[in-house]
Chain A
Amino acid sequence: MHQKALDMENICIAFNGVQVLKNINFSLDKGEVCGLVGKNGAGKSTLLKIIQGLYRANSGEVRLFGENVKENHGRVFAYVGMIFQELSLIPEMTVLENIFLNNEIRKFDLVNIREEERRAVSFMKKYKIDIDIHKKIKKLSSADKQMVEICKAVLKNKKILLMDEPTAALDDEQAAKLYRMVKQLKEEGITILLITHHLQEIIDNCDSVAVIRDGEMTLGGETKNLSMEAMIKAMLGEEQTDLAFSRSISDIDRTQPVLELREIVTDFIKMPLSLRVYAGEVVGLAGLKGCGRTEVFRAIFGLDRLRSGEIYIFGKKANIKSTTDAVKAGVFLIPESRRFQGLSVDHSIKFNIELPLLKRLTRRFLVDERESNRVVDDYIERVHIKANSRGDKVKSLSGGNQQKVVISKALATTPRILLMDDPTYGVDVGAKAEIMKIIDQFKMSGGTVLLASSEIEEINQNCNRIFILKNRKLVGELSNEDYMTVTQDSLAAAIQ
């Protein structure tokens, strides 16, 4: 009989009485590349954790290369390697040290560096990876870090690689590089299961696809027989209508800019940068990773000191020296990383949302709990945060819901200017459309948005005007007034 690399039969698992996976039947052939899709919270991560042996299913059977994991616990899981989304490499160590970390090649109990070098170099040559093995990890690009992660796993003799959104932090070219490597690994007989929110990537690069919705496998099969529409339908079910988001167009009064940057220079933006944004506008900042969009936001939000130049808000010169000043001036930033910058994940939803509002919520030195609860509950409902209560710890929420908490936190401060740095990073299609709707509402109520995103599509769909950034310089502006006058190709060409 043909032996499967992975075979899961009737897997069920529940946490605290909540059924997370129901009767999952799933298998992977040797050398198969499979894309796993589903909304945030559908159960993808749980499935991955069962395959890694971190969770044990309540019922059902898992076989790795024909061996039942229950009987061979520990040993068989050694075949499975996880490529982490939040990378597990040590930044201060070199590529080589990381690759062989805890797996050092020894000679008389000393690390045999020469042998390690030889193996690493020949491996890299085989897969056409061009990375200096003596460089420190912190000096590598995100794409190269991913590659090193993969090298580490494969050199440890892993036969099944699990990748959690490997391309989320990569631009198109880097993603292509990654998929070339995936293809080569496949030819070596390595089985790969990857999670991604980019369905096109799955169609282009995977042999098969598995779709999970609310803990059930709703679609599975070879990609060549499936359309993107079928996948979206399997993923979202009835909610599909939400996906069609259309931008409302507001009349923009250009007499007075809400936000004006006049020749600002910081330690990171060396060339003076100027731009104007008006009320009711969503303006895009487009560019490749490292183009300077985060740096522009940092300057406006008071995170980086202005070396020269001025910021005007409603025509008045704003003296923003700290984030505290920025929030006071009606500016709020939705930062790139929700886990590290946006949220205190060990605290509750309520704690996080009320944090920037404390001043407003204080009556006679004490926090007005009733008012605070009202505000928080209002946002949980408006933004559709899926949680048991406002007291839930943020870390217990799925990625998309965490992002909604970040957005609620920002909106609750009733900002006039909202800076959004990649607000839909790692968020599924459904939540993405919801987030875009929230931005749209904010705009229609007279708010101003500066939106940065690594996804051209997202910028193009949402923005009235688009600023092009390259090497931390403003190199152009595209007008998108009449809805999609800017084509994706022209935008893609502009940012290159």
Chain B
Amino acid sequence: MRKRFDIRQSVIYIAFVVLFLIFSITLKDVGVGFASVSNLMNILRQTCLVAIMAVGMTFVLGAALIDLSTGPVVACTSLVCGLFLQRFGLVAGVAAGLMFGVLAGVLNGFLVAYLKMPPFIATLGTQTVFTGVARTITNLQSVPITDKTFISIFGGGSVGMIPSVFVWMSVIFVLGVLVMYKMPFGRKVLAVGGNVTSAKYSGIPIAKVQMKVMVLMGVLCALAGILWAGRFGGGRYTLGEDSGTAVIAAAVLGGTSMMGGVVSVYGAIVGALMMGMLDNALVMYGLSVYQQTIVRGIVIILAVAVSTVREEN
């Protein structure tokens, strides 16, 4: 049977194109112009980090879980990475950063999968903890990173015309698509999110799947944190701190259901691009940071509203 064109499934793509056109026209003469190559590159660079995390969030939401602690994990990672890099070199810095992500994921996973805490509450708690940790590690001090190799691989550099963050995002995107749609793990995630009891009766180890999903999210946050540090040239407690909502919004905008079982990895990338594009345009329109948060909040509400309508039908 041929699939009918579903306006609700495609609304994100349509909105993306429409917004892009509107911004391109109305912001043509502001600065370098919205649609100029340099500005688009700028948007892409800003978006890549959120997109990487949004891929992880697709798995989390797909398993009918949620992770509110992603932002502070990014911040913590940037600091941990910076500290280890200063003392023990590049490899140790990256390894320590990723390790922090794993540990954060294990903690979230343990609370959710084994202590059976509601993920919303559990990760709200760890979010607060990690926010505190990020401020405590260096006592609000930034940790500068001067290692040239690190900066060119993570964040700052580029491969020809292509920024290295974009390469990282592409790799994560391809892996995400493979794991979600082609590997058994993706099906297990969707089964757990779709109907946890039936998944259990099918012999799927529920807790293990949930744990793996939370660890995956932690690792992707850590990667984002390392990249953020690379772009910023050091670790800081504010880096990526408030990216958490944007990440969830990107995934939901892209068509992933908050109820679990229904996901789109492709959509997550488009959702992230849309959030980045919007942020960029708002700056160009001259809105203050605080005004921007208002608009961003409204967009998130709209995204969830569209997704709710989608599920009702």
Which residues in A have some Cβ–Cβ distance to B below 8 Å? Answer: 301, 303, 322-324, 326-328, 333, 335, 340-347, 351-352, 354-356, 358-359, 361-362, 365-367, 388-389, 409, 413
Contacts and interface: CB of A to CB of B under 8 A. Distances in A.
B202 A351 contact: no
A369 to B, nearest CB: 8
30 contacts: A323-B201, A324-B203, A326-B203, A340-B195, A340-B197, A344-B190, A344-B195, A344-B198, A344-B199, A344-B261, A345-B195, A346-B194, A346-B195, A346-B261, A346-B262, A347-B261, A351-B187, A352-B198, A354-B187, A355-B188, A356-B202, A356-B203, A356-B204, A358-B187, A358-B188, A362-B184, A366-B178, A366-B182, A367-B183, A388-B1
Contacts of A367: 182-184, 187
Contacts of A328: 203
A323 B190 contact: no
B200 interface: yes
B125 interface: no
B191 interface: yes
By secondary structure, the B interface counts as: helix
Given A346-B262, A358-B184, A327 B191 contact: no
B132 interface: no
Given A301-B201, A347-B194, A366-B178, 14 more contacts: A322-B205, A323-B202, A324-B205, A340-B195, A340-B198, A344-B195, A345-B195, A351-B190, A355-B188, A355-B204, A359-B184, A361-B184, A366-B183, A367-B183
Contacts of B204: 323-324, 355-356
Nearest to B187: A358
B178 A347 contact: no
B45 to A, nearest CB: 32
Given A366-B178, A367-B184, A333 B201 contact: yes
Interface residues of B, number: 22
Contacts of B203: 323-324, 326-328, 356, 413
A343 B1 contact: no
A347 B190 CA distance: 9
Contacts of A351: 187, 190-191
A352 B188 CA distance: 11
A342 B191 CA distance: 11
Contacts of A361: 184
Nearest to A326: B203
A358 B204 CA distance: 10
A335 B195 contact: no
A403 B202 CA distance: 15
A333 B197 CA distance: 13
Contact of A365 (B183, B199, B201): B183
Interface in B192-223: 194-195, 197-205
Contacts of A389: 1
Contacts of A359: 184
Contacts of A355: 187-188, 191, 199, 202, 204
Interface in B23-52: none
Contacts of B200: 303, 323
Nearest to A322: B205
A362 B183 CA distance: 8
The 5 residue pairs across chains A and B that have the minimum distance between CB atoms? A327-B203, A344-B194, A358-B184, A344-B195, A356-B202
Contacts of A358: 184, 187-188
Nearest to B195: A344
Interface in B1-34: 1
Contact of A341 (B1, B184, B197, B262): B197
Contact of B195 (A323, A343, A362): A343
Contacts of A409: 202
Nearest to B203: A327
Nearest to B208: A324
A323 B196 CA distance: 13
Contacts of B198: 340-344, 352
Nearest to B193: A344
B113 to A, nearest CB: 13
Given A358-B184, A367-B184, A389-B1, A344 B191 contact: yes
Contacts of B262: 346
Nearest to B1: A388
A456 B217 CA distance: 52
Contacts of A347: 190-191, 194, 261
Nearest to A360: B184
Contacts of A335: 201
A323 B199 CA distance: 10
Nearest to B311: A346
B93 to A, nearest CB: 30
Nearest to A388: B1
A343 B204 CA distance: 13
B203 to A, nearest CB: 3
A295 B105 CA distance: 36
A409 B195 CA distance: 15
Contacts of A324: 203-205
Nearest to B205: A324
Contacts of B199: 344, 355
Nearest to B196: A344
A366 B261 CA distance: 20
A326 B203 CA distance: 7
B1 A342 contact: no
Contact of B201 (A341, A345, A366, A388): A341
A335 B178 CA distance: 32
Contacts of B188: 355, 358
B21 to A, nearest CB: 35
Contacts of A365: 183
A333 B200 CA distance: 11
A342 B201 contact: yes
A145 to B, nearest CB: 21
A335 B202 CA distance: 10
A366 B191 CA distance: 17
A358 B1 CA distance: 26
Contacts of B201: 301, 323, 333, 335, 341-342
B34 to A, nearest CB: 40
Contacts of B194: 344, 346-347
A304 to B, nearest CB: 12
A326 to B, nearest CB: 7
Interface in B160-201: 178, 182-184, 187-188, 190-191, 194-195, 197-201
